Amino acid sequence: MAAQIIDGKAVSAKVKEEIRQEIERDKLEIGLAVVIVGDDPASRVYVNNKKKACEVCGIKSYEYALPAETTEAQLMELIDTLNDDDKVNGILVQLPLPKHLNEEAVIARISPLKDVDAFSASNVGKIMIGNYAFLPCTPAGCIELIHSTGIDVSGKECVVIGRSNIVGKPMAMLLLHENGTVTVCHSRTKNLAEVCRRADILVAAVGRPGFVTGDMVKPGAVVIDVGINRNADGKLCGDCVFDECAKKASWITPVPGGVGPMTIAMLMKNTVMAKRIQTAK
């Protein structure tokens, strides 16, 4: 049995097209500000991809590229200006920031109504209680990919490997909101392979190439690989040994072309939601 591939490019194209139609239909004017500090090459790729997605959807993008030596006070001043700018509906500060800047303080400065990454403490709290407007883009994209398979999360055993604030923890909450029975695993988990083999839905978000092997996958499981790593040959790969896991799973996301495109599509969705909330206020 070979797994069916969950095509993130196709699902994200569909989401972006729906957003484009909604913006056109309702004649919405929406702006997303992206702030990048320094010249991290991976960050530059992400920012360029976000700009392209804005173009496709009909969202105006404003880029603020600041030098690596920007002070925290200068960055905070820019965020304050963007918070007060009605043309800007969403604000995204591309992480990681240079070491001398406090990421937590910077994220806390973004207005919760414009925090389209859903990283601020108040938006994270809302996800916990299930009363949220924005979802973190990567976990929201994973949920959308699971939905695209037609599989119902309700009552399923779900295992999330990784407990980061950006993916692992919110992913667990979203699966819980859909009535999954959720186990979160991490570096201290005992009998990890055994726990993973119970999963009807397995989400790998550890950031270690080839961490999940075929013997950790329950036959027929849905495998969502969030990892984006480079292997010894410098090729992009996920956290799963794809060929091994694909032999056991019923559905699996590839890397690249799985979760990655979805993250940006969900960012576009959050930006439209931000506009709606701000207009209703």
Beta bridge partners of 35: 64, 93
State the DSSP H helix or E strand holding residue 225, giving kind and residue range, or none if neither: strand 222-225
How many C-beta atoms lie closer than 10 Å to residue 25's C-beta? 8
* 114 counts as catalytic: no
Q: What is the DSSP letter of 101?
A: S
Choice among 16, 50, 114, 275 that is catalytic? 50
Contact yes or no for 216/192 (Cβ under 8 A): yes
CA dist 242 and 253 (Å) reads 9
Please work out, in degrees rounded to the nearest 5, the angle formed at the alpha carbon of residue 234 by the alpha carbons of 228 and 240: 40
Choice among 16, 115, 117, 269 that is catalytic? 117
SS3 category, 273: helix
* 94 counts as catalytic: yes
Residue 195 φ then ψ, to 5°: -65, -45
Contact yes or no for 79/93 (Cβ under 8 A): yes
Q: Which of 53, 59, 62, 61 minimizes the C-alpha distance to 16?
A: 53
* 115 counts as catalytic: no
Q: Which residues are catalytic?
A: 50, 94, 117
